[in-house]
Structure 1
Amino acid sequence: MTWNAVTGHRALLGEAPFWDAPTQALYWVDIAGQQALRLIGANVQIWQMPEHVSAFIPCESGDALVTLSSGVYRLDLDSPGLEPRLTLFCVADPQPGNRANEARCDPLGRLWLGTMQNNIGEQGEDLPIERRSGGLFRIDRDARVTPLLRGLGIPNTLLWSDDATMLYFGDSLDGTLFQHFIHTDGNLDAAYVWFGPHARGGPDGSAMDAEGFIWNARWDGSCLLRLTPSGHVDRVIELPVSRPTSCVFGGEDLKTLYITSAASPLNHPLDGALLSMRVDVAGKPCIRFAG
């Protein structure tokens, strides 16, 4: 596999890539840089957010959701990058000192949002995690919020089985990816350890391919792990960045893998870059927010 740096942009903490198939556009964020970015063709548009932003997801209504520290907002995509028009949609987690982290939409187009203790300083510097104050929340199209999990450290990875009865969810503080059975009432069963700690870094964001394998970015591991549906390592994909953070399948055939990354103390030239590579299996499409 050969990789390419898609743009010259370098993020402090690149995250949450989302491929919008109807518009052939890639959405992603720089959490610490407070930027929401969209790539269409060779053109990158950047909206400068007033707070840390962890996800940028287009909506069926034509605008997009951005998950900021103070809540989930709608972003007018026609607004200028330096003066983004934001409208508060909901506050999922009112816990003081928490911020949004992982966020994705399930097969029904509902937003699932994981939160955590804020670990980013005013200058983008790392702050220590001192408490497991995070949670997992489901947000419906009418802005109704349902709490699902409490006591989370660093929530990462949100993926669902084809029949939407199984959630794949990670906590980087535990170095573990879990499975949760989803009951018919929407509540989650107790966590089952699906893939435990591994020598190649900690688990960050993930994408699922058409064969049901999960591609997991390994923070401080300089690689992706492709994991079998039963939770075993199928292959290791080496990367030229120290801290890959997440990935998504895109392109017309969903066989272009986009990988976000973060800056690191190692200062490798491509740390913080958005990478792409062609792969031999198609991915599953991302789901827009239904509202």
Structure 2
Amino acid sequence: MTWTAVTEHRAQLGEGPFWDAPTQALYWVDIAGKQALRLIGANVQIWQMPEHVSAFIPCESGDALVTLSSGVYRLDLDSPGLEPRLTLLCVADPQPGNRANEARCDALGRLWLGTMQNNIGEQGEDLPVTRRTGGLFRIDRDARVTPLLRGLGIPNTLLWSEDITTLYFGDSLDGTLYQHVIRTDGNLEPAQIWFEGHGRGGPDGSAMDAEGFIWNARWDGSCLLRLAPDGTVDRVIDLPVSRPTSCVFGDADLKTLYITSAASPLGHSLDGAVLSMRVDVPGKSCTRFAG
């Protein structure tokens, strides 16, 4: 397999890749570096955020959402990179000491946001996670917030079955990917273990392909796992980075896999890069926020 670093940029903690099909643009963030990034063609735009930012998702209205430590904000994409114009949409999780982590929109354009105890210091250094104070929240286009789960450690991976009746959700503190049945009232049934216990790193972010297989980035595992719908390992895809964090399918045919990564003590030359690789199966497209 041939991997390519799509830009020269190296993140402290790259995360949250989003492929916007209408504009053929890749969005992602550097959480610790407080940056929201967008790649269109060969042009990279960077907005410097005032706080840690965990996701950067375009909206149907023409702006974008950024999930910051203090809340979910709209970002004016025409604003300068060093002076981003931000408007508060909502505060999903008012728990002191928490920050946003995983965030993604379902097929209806509703934002699902997982939060956790802040584990990043002011200089970008790692802090230990000692409390399960995180939660999972759903945010509708009118900014209405619905709490769904409490007591989470490190929420990662947010994916849905084709009929939006099942949520695939991970907690990296548990080293486990779960399934939740979504009730007709929108709430979640208790978690069922779907995948756990692999020797190559811990579960981080994921993407789903058109066949319903989940591609899971393995933090400290230098690989992706392609997981079958029954939770078995279909294949292991080795990567030239120490800490892959998430992935997304992109390009016009959705057959290019983009992988974000983080810096690591091993100091590999591509650590922190966004990688791309052509694959043999298309992925499912990302959905913009409906608001």
Aligned residues: 291
CA distance in 2, matches of 1:173, 1:30: 21
Residues 174-195 of structure 1, C-alpha deviations (whole Å, 9 max, x = no match) = 0000000000000000000000
2:161 aligned with 1:161, yes or no? yes
Partner of 1:48: 48
Paired residue for 2:17? 17
Instruction: Show the counterpart of 1:107.
Output: 107
The offset of 1:52, in angstroms, is 0.1
- Counterpart secondary structure, 1:267: coil
**Cross-structure match for 1:77:** 77
Residue-by-residue CA offset, 1:155-174 (whole Å, 9 max, x unaligned): 00000000000000000000
SS in 2 for 1:215: strand
Q: Aligned runs of 1:242-281 on 2, under 5 Å?
A: 242-281=242-281
Q: Which residue in the other structure is 1:29 paired with?
A: 29
Distance 1:178 1:107 in 2: 19
Segments of structure 2 that go 5 or more residues without pairing to the other structure are: none
Aligned partner of 1:237 in structure 2 is 237
In structure 2, C-alpha distance between the alignment counterparts of 1:102 and 1:172, rounded to whole Å: 11
Give the letter for the 2:135 counterpart. G
CA distance in 2, matches of 1:156, 1:128: 17
TM-score by length of 1: 1.00
Instruction: Output the CA distance in 2 between the equivalents of 1:198 and 1:113.
Output: 26
Query: Counterpart of 1:139?
Result: 139
Secondary structure of 1:62's counterpart equals coil
1:108 deviation in Å? 0.5
Letter of the structure 1 residue corresponding to residue 205 of structure 2: G
SS at match of 1:260: strand
Tell me how far apart the structure 2 counterparts of residues 259 and 107 of structure 1 sit (CA, whole Å).
22
C-alpha contact (below 8 Å) 1:174/1:197 kept by paired residues: no
Distance in 2 between residues matched to 1:2 and 1:12, nearest whole Å:
24
Shift of 1:219: 0.1
- Counterparts of 1:73 and 1:137, CA distance in 2: 15
Aligned-partner Cα distance in 1 for 2:252–2:187: 35
Give the unaligned 5+ runs of structure 1.
none
- Percent of residue pairs bearing the same amino acid type: 88
CA RMSD of aligned residues (A): 0.3
| Alpha-carbon distance in 1 for matches of 2:43, 2:145 | 35
Letter in 1 for 2:288: R
Quick one: which amino acid aligns to residue 136 of structure 2?
Answer: L
1:197, CA displacement in angstroms? 2.0
1:250-272 CA distance string (max 9 Å, x none):
00000000000000000000000
Q: Residue 199 of structure 1 corresponds to which residue in structure 2? A: 199
Helix, strand or coil for the counterpart of 2:234?
A: strand
C-alpha separation between the residues in 1 aligned to 2:59 and 2:183? 26
TM superposition outliers: structure 1 runs of 4+ over 6 Å: none
Aligned to 2:189: 189
